[in-house]
Structure 1
Amino acid sequence: MTHRKLYLGPLTDNRRWDMVTIRPDDVFVVTPPKCGTTWMQTIVALLLSGDPEVEPELSVKMPWVDIRIREMSDVAARLEAMTHRRSMKSHTPMDGLPLHDQAQYICVFRHPLDAHLSMRKHMRNIPMPWFDHWYPEDDVEGVTFRRFLDGGAEGFDGDAMPLAHILQHYKAAKALSDRPNVSLFHYADMKRDLAGVFASLSHQLGTPHPQDVMERLVEAATFDHMKQNADRYAPSGGKGFFKSDTAFFQSGTNGQWQGVLSDAEVAAYDAMMDAHLTPEDRAWLENGAAG
């Protein structure tokens, strides 16, 4: 953990990275939850394989190292035994990860309010009650949104994904964005121009493919295709981890918070965003390139 910030919660522990020997060609997908993690992991799997029919098996082949529900010795041994180019997932901000000068770090962000609304739905689709008091099913008093605004970036709060955790992710990634091996992507840009994201990431990873192959890879990563094949693309899909693999993908839309949050809630969110980000940073974090 030397020179790395500690992120320790009921679900995640970034000290687990101490057991992973980083390779120069490793690819890290680093995101706050519900910001396009699985989507970006799938894109990476498609680009690394060049096969539109690749079986991602994200939980096994591209593991979430931080999560504490799997024995880290087993995860580390599985990673060490891999002979192909590896990719790993993390919900830890960049200041809590091991940094390698050549490994690629792909950071993905989404409008914080869309991520929050997606997290609400996600909590209803998993069989773990750890965060039920943050995300009560019948939230008539608005507890969930108050905790989204009040929660801290670390510890128990961090795993529940309050706004402070998202902001910490963004600031930590941006602080390293001048490095050639650290890239920031946005969910909204993935929705607007998936082919462009593929082209950019292919260049970043050094994985060129013929145009006809790229077109097939892009088609395989469209939201509709992934949702229609949810048992293949959802993490641990087909294994009963989620109540519904299809529901894992939900609608994938932007702006889903509009008409759900009250004017007072939106005003409180606006105040916090303006207090912590410049107008330029806020515009990008909410809307990507269109910001």
Structure 2
Amino acid sequence: MTDRKLYLGPLTDNRRWDMVKIRPDDVIVASPPKCGTTWMQTIIALLLSGDVEVETELSFKMPWVDIRVREMDEVAERLEAMTHRRCLKSHTPMDGLPLDNQAQYICVFRHPLDAHFSYRDHLRNTPLLWFDLWYLEDDPERVTFRRFLDGGAEGFDTDAMPLAHILRHYKAAKALADRPNVTLFHYADMKRDLPGTFAQVAALLGVSYPADMMAQFVQVARFDNMKTNADRYAPSAGKGFFKSDEAFFQSGSSGKWHGQLTDDELAAYDAMMNAKLTSAERKWLEFGAAS
């Protein structure tokens, strides 16, 4: 992987992609955590299968390649044995992934502060104890947000998802957005217009369905349905990995950071965002295309 950046954290290792033989019709969803990855994979599962009752089984059928919890030999063998069109997941920025000229890359983003607060809740629902010193449950000194602002884009910090890592994701994807097989989506736009999102993804995948079936797909992929049926749609559902499968779909809301930060914390966040992004880039990353 000499032509790719190394992202090696306690949870993930992007060198694992060296064992994946990418196919021309593969679909790779690459985004920071808690930005809509599972949502997008569910949309893709519905569109590729054409079945409103599809058993998504994301962790097995649409595996997260980077994660170390499964032996890569087994993951690569399982992927190679698949005869259907594949969807693969990554939380590695695009500059750390093998870039195929034909496979579709779908990158999903969310307001960084919403992603951060959602990730706080997410980690408390997992057994990933090595983040306890970063994401403190009792945090009177407000260490967690300082580390969100101070953390680096690589190394251990990769999996703790500091702001620098989110910005690396965004800039790496945006640098490739002129390619016909790299598309950026925003969580806020998906919420505002889920039918439009389905239509756009269907066009990327080269599939089409009657309007009534597309409407059924949209209903399946709505947040309240996925949360109500978390045993079906959460990654690793029913396996006991999460303390609560339903809590994986914590709220799906935007603006959850309002009232959670001090004026100084917001000012520090603003300063970093303005230093790293143009006003147009920042507007899109925070609020999407319809802002």
Matched letter for residue 142 of structure 2 = G
Give matches, 1:52-91, under 5 Å.
52-91=52-91
Give the structure-1-normalised TM-score: 0.99
> What is the correspondence of 1:89-128 to structure 2 with a 5 Å cutoff?
89-128=89-128
- 2-side partners of 1:7 and 1:130: how far apart? 17
Distance 2:53 2:219 in 1: 11
Give distance in 2, aligned partners of 1:252 and 1:262.
Answer: 23
The Cα offsets for residues 189-233 of structure 1, whole Å up to 9 and x where unpaired, read as 111000000001100110111111101111100000000000110
2:276 aligns to what?
A: 276
Percent identity between matched residues is 76
- State the match for 1:140 in structure 2: 140
Matched, 1:42 2:42: yes
The separation in 2 between residues aligned to 1:128 and 1:196, in whole angstroms, is 36
Residue in 2 that maps onto 1:287:
287
Q: Distance in 1 between matches of 2:219 and 2:40?
A: 14
Offset of 1:87 from its aligned partner? 0.4
Secondary structure in 1 aligned to 2:204? Answer: helix
The corresponding residue for 2:221 is 221
The amino acid that maps onto 1:14 is: N
Structure 2: how far apart are the matches of 1:233 and 1:264?
Answer: 39
What does residue 24 of structure 1 align with?
24
Letter in 2 for 1:71: E
Structure 1: stretches of 5+ with no match in the other structure: none
Report deviation, 1:122.
0.6
**How far 1:123 sits from its partner (Å)?**
1.0
User: Cα deviation per residue 1:229-254 (whole Å; 9 max; x = unaligned)?
Assistant: 00110000111110001111011000
- Distance in 1 separating the partners of 2:205 and 2:231: 27
Aligned-pair distance for 1:2?
Answer: 2.7
Structure-2 residue corresponding to 1:176: 176
- Structure 1 outlier segments of 4+, above 6 Å: none
Runs (5+) with no aligned partner, structure 2: none
- 1:9 corresponds to 2:9: yes
Q: Secondary structure at the match of 1:130?
A: helix
How do residues 141-290 of structure 1 correspond to structure 2 at under 5 angstroms?
141-290=141-290
- Superposition deviation, residue 158 in structure 1: 1.0
Amino acid at match of 1:194: L
The CA deviation string for residues 73-125 of structure 1, in whole angstroms up to 9 with x for no partner, is 00000000000000000000000001111000000000000000000001110
Q: CA deviation at 1:290?
A: 2.2
Code of the aligned partner of 2:31: T
Distance 2:32 2:262 in 1: 24
Post-superposition offset of 1:25: 0.1
Matched to 1:67, the amino acid is I
| Cα distance in 2 for residues equivalent to 1:10 and 1:279 | 34
Q: How many residues align?
A: 291
Q: Distance in 2 between matches of 1:205 and 1:93?
A: 22
Q: CA RMSD in A?
A: 0.6
Please give the alpha-carbon distance, in whole angstroms, between the structure 1 residues aligned to 2:110 and 2:29.
14
1: CA distance, partners of 2:261 / 2:13: 32
